[in-house]
Amino acid sequence: MSWIKATTRFICAWRRPDELVREVETELRFHIEMRTRANVEQGMRPDDAQRAALQSFGDFKQVRNNCCEIRRSLPFDSMPLRMGLHITIAVLAGLAALWAVNVPHHNFTGVMRQLIAIAVLTYLFIVVRRSKRHSDSEHVNGVLAAPSETFRANMSLTSDMSGAPSANITAYDEQGRTPVERVFKS
């Protein structure tokens, strides 16, 4: 059932983009308010608490846009779809070639039909190229990288860890030391 929900969300995200932005903003604002409350409870003044909450959150617009972008991405692996498009283009190209052979060239309608067929094929080719480039860039940015894929990729001893997508998590101990500091300064 989850794919039905995901597809509905995907369609809604494209049909009502303003609503999506509002929804994400409401959620992020709630987070900032909760952080502000926590800061106040720790003894900060309300103004300072809010400023600190906004600062610790980071770039609000960037986070909001990232969330909206993820919601607008396809809720399934687009590889089969792209393969299907490639096959369709190949079939259409074959049909167009047959058509070109059979249709008399001196006929104006025949020439127009061939031109339309070529235009359709070119358009499909551009769509497929664009979707491939978009999906590649998403993969590089780690937007669609599944944890298991990430782990599998980095389990290999030959893989380059420096290029691996990373999440910003800070690991400290009770004295505020990072794992590296713990090892070298103990």
Partner 1 sequence: MPKSNVSLLQGTLDMLILKALSLGALHGYGVGQRIAQISGNALKVEEGSLYPGLYRLEQRGWIESEWDVSDNNQRAKFYKLTRAGRKQLIIEEQNWERLAGATIKALRAV
Determine the interface stretch with partner 1 among 70-78, 92-100, 108-116, 129-137 (rule: CB under 8 A): 70-78
Q: How far is CA 86 from the centre of its chain?
A: 22
Q: Does 134 bind partner 1 (CB under 8 A)?
A: no
**Residue of 82, 80, 74 lying closest to 127 (CA atoms):** 82
Q: Does 44 bind partner 1 (CB under 8 A)?
A: no
CB of 70 to partner 1, least distance (A): 4
The smaller minimum CB distance to partner 1, of residues 26 and 122, is found at 26
Tokens of 58: 């980071």
Determine the interface stretch with partner 1 among 39-47, 103-111, 125-133, 176-184 (rule: CB under 8 A): 176-184
The smaller minimum CB distance to partner 1, of residues 35 and 135, is found at 35
| Unique residue bearing structure tokens 């919601």 | 71
* DSSP string over 60-98: HHHHHHHHHHHHHS-SS-SHHHHHHHHHHHHHHHHHHHH
End-to-end Cα spacing for the chain: 52
x-or-dash string of contact with partner 1, 85-124, rule CB under 8 A: ----------------------------------------
DSSP 161: G
Could you say which of 95, 146, 159, 163 contacts partner 1 (CB under 8 A)?
A: 146
